[in-house]
Amino acid sequence: MTVMIPTWVGGDLVAVEKLEAHQKGLRHKAISVFVMHGQEVLIQRRAMGKYHTPGLWANTCCTHPHWGEEALTCAERRLDEELGLTGLTLNYRDRVEYRAAVGGGLIEHELVDIFVAEVAARVTPIPNPEEVMDTDWVTLADLAARTRATPDQFTPWLRIYLEKHAQQIFA
């Protein structure tokens, strides 16, 4: 299935196929979600079949809105598609921009709407094996330490969020 995502080309926002946006390093819209329980965050390990960053740990979920899809709708959709999580209250935190090589000559140049869901108790995800191979609850302090000690086990964007945008996301 071809997925068209909102991408800036020559200053205009247009629909571009997702893989093409990554191959050309075009700036495009994205969302990222962090599900939190106190100081713990739910992280996921990306499935080995993903076309970039397979097997790496990432935040709870992230993706690109489809053309014409609102960011909140996209975040809710993707939590369900990747982790079987529904009914969470997502709070918009901020918009950040980053550019990072993700392997195989692909580049993520994203303008990301960040959402956080605070849960009263740890939720139990039901991972879609085509998307997610593992999940874990970790404290923010432990996650930050792990990303510094073994950065190659984590996606570039998760490392960027923790290094440059933690105050915006977790304050």
> Which of the residues are catalytic?
62, 110
Which residues make Cβ contacts (< 8 Å) with residue 152, sequence separation at least 6? none
Tell me how far apart the alpha carbons of residues 92 and 112 are, in angstroms, rounded to a whole number: 11
